[in-house]
Amino acid sequence: MRLILLLAALILAPAALAAKEPVRPVTVLVGIDGFRADYLERGITPRLAALAKSGANAAMRPSFPTKTFPNHFALVTGKRPDRNGIVGNSMIDPRRPGVMFSLGNSQQALDPFWWSEAEPVWIAAERAGLRTATMFWPGSEVPFDGQRPADWMRYDQNITNVQRVNTLLDWLRRPATIRPAFATIYFDTVDTIGHRFGPDSAEVNAALAEVDTRIGELVDGAAKLGVPLNLVIVADHGMRATDEARVIQLDDIIDRASYIAVETGPYAAIEPVAGTDSRVYDALLVPHEHMTCTRKEDLPGRLHYGSNPRVAAIICIAENGWTILAGPPAYPVKGGAHGFDNADPDMLAVFIANGPAFAKGAKLSTFDNVAVAALLRAALGLPEDADADGKLADVKAALRR
């Protein structure tokens, strides 16, 4: 009898040991588009507020231009738009004459050519043997150097926030061998509603509450599965109220045939048409009310912008809250917008880190968003990227001592 028990114990021991092995935390990068830093203080996001309080948090400075694609890519590459190659939601490249990259032009937006200037953290992780999974993130649908996350999804705004969370939970539910070590998830609704109704609207508050509920479901779902999370929750930029009374009309300054407006709105990217160069420069590079236009090479150093060949020749930045138009607007100027100077306090983005890798109860001073990539690498055990613009030292206070 004793012998049988001993044998049984020997056979069962490895299984019992395996069952007790600690589950490796999964680093999850959550992007809440347009979640302005101070939204957290409205008292309508209890789950996020609790994560901020028991983890690390800060009001984070976005990179210029304060747009979605450039900043999402800055967050995962550690390089500012000028060096990560995604210099705008819309952009041109002298190597591709006559072609315009834009967020809605999937033929260009999904072409690796545009995304090849900086390596996203999921590629660094995959190369180090860590499995990654992306439930949306700008750039994650495109191979880098022929590599992709092990699991990735083509962006579709119609996939509900509930579906997005459930997809991520399904990935966490997997056996350890095929469970990601790093995952992303992205919510667009706070930004979408922020544009339509403005940052101070009841509609934005409802969108904030809904996303907060989804984050709660993610946290509770992972806890139920017994999978610890190192959560890094960020926004790409904030949101500022705009209205049709504060509009700068380029038609009043220069004829539309003389330039290409690569981008308009809170900032404008203007490329003179060949042969009309001096006319456009002469008209724009003078003082204007509510707008400052600068040759890209003369932009202030604090913007870290203008050396990439994809940056248009002239960059005009509107006074905070103003909108630059080239002809009639595509949609009415109302609600909210972003794209302003990254020194605008309304462009500040939320940052929360919570999990075993992170400090408990740390309020960081404002830092540049490119440091997030360094923090993600640290949480994943990857070495710091010496070539990145963002340094781990800038967010060291977010790490557990």
107, 157, 177, 365: which one contacts ligand AMP (CB under 6 A)? 157
By CB under 5 A, tell whether 344 contacts Zn ion: no
Beta strand segments in 65-176, E? 90-91, 101-102, 132-135, 151-152
Choices 3-11, 187-195, 200-208, 373-381; region in contact with ligand AMP by CB under 6 A: 187-195
Long-range contacts of 389-392 (CB under 8 A, 24+ apart): 389/78, 389/79, 389/80, 389/83, 389/304, 390/78, 390/79
If one asks whether residue 191 binds Zn ion (CB under 5 A), the answer comes out as yes
Question: Interface with ligand AMP includes 192 (CB under 6 A)?
Answer: yes
**344 or 385: CB nearest ligand AMP:** 344
- Count of residues of this chain found to bind Zn ion when the rule CB under 5 A is applied: 4
- Phi first, then psi, for residue 61 (nearest 5°) are -85, 125
What minimum distance in Å lies between the beta carbon of 109 and ligand AMP?
6
Beta partners for residue 295, in sequence order: 314
For residues 101 and 118, give the distance between their C-alpha atoms in angstroms, rounded to a whole number: 17
Among 27, 63, 68, 323, binds Zn ion (CB under 5 A): 68
292: annotated active-site residue: no
Q: Does 103 bind ligand AMP (CB under 6 A)?
A: yes
Q: Say if CB 353 and CB 397 are below 8 A apart.
A: no
Which residue in this structure is represented by tokens 């990179």? 63
Cα separation of 26 and 176, whole Å? 11
Using the minimum distance from each CB to ligand AMP, give the nearer residue, 155 or 367.
Answer: 155
- Which residue's Cβ has the minimum distance to ligand AMP? 68
Least distance to ligand AMP, CB of residue 276, Å: 29
Check binding of 159 to ligand AMP (CB under 6 A): no
Report the residue number whose CB is nearest to Zn ion: 68
Asked whether the bond before 65 is cis by omega within 30 degrees of 0, the reply is yes
What is the rounded distance in angstroms from the CA atom of residue 395 to the CA atom of residue 373? 10
Evaluate whether 272 touches 258 at the Cβ level (below 8 Å): yes
State the number of binding residues for ligand AMP (CB under 6 A).
12
Any bridge partners for residue 134, and if so which?
A: 152, 184
The number of residues in the chain equals 401
Select the residue interacting with ligand AMP from 82, 117, 126, 191 (CB under 6 A): 191
Using the Cα atoms of residue 368, residue 373, residue 379 and residue 384 in order, give the sign of their dihedral. Answer: negative
Based on the shown chain and the rule CB under 6 A, indicate whether residue 25 belongs to the binding site for ligand AMP: no
Q: Which does 344 bind (CB under 5 to 8 A by kind): Zn ion, ligand AMP, none?
A: none
244 three-class SS: coil
Output 33 or 212, the one with its CB closest to ligand AMP.
33
**How distant, in Å, are the alpha carbons of 205, 303, 373 from that of 189?**
11, 28, 24
Contacted entry of ligand AMP, Zn ion, none for residue 157, CB cut-off 5 to 8 Å set by kind: ligand AMP
Residue 346 touches Zn ion, criterion: CB under 5 A? no
| Residue 64 binding ligand AMP, by CB under 6 A | no
Using the contact rule CB under 6 A, the part of the chain among 13-21, 184-192, 342-350, 378-386 near ligand AMP is 184-192
Catalytic residue, chosen from 27, 66, 68, 184, is 68
At 98 the three-state DSSP class reads coil
* Minimum CB distance to Zn ion smaller for 33 or for 389: 33
**312 with 268: CB under 8 angstroms?**
no
How far apart are the C-alpha atoms of 111 and 386, rounded to whole Å? 27
The residues of the shown chain that bind ligand AMP, judged by CB under 6 A, are 33, 67-68, 89, 103, 109, 138, 155, 157, 188, 191-192
The residues of the shown chain that bind Zn ion, judged by CB under 5 A, are 33, 68, 191, 236
Which residues are the active-site residues?
68
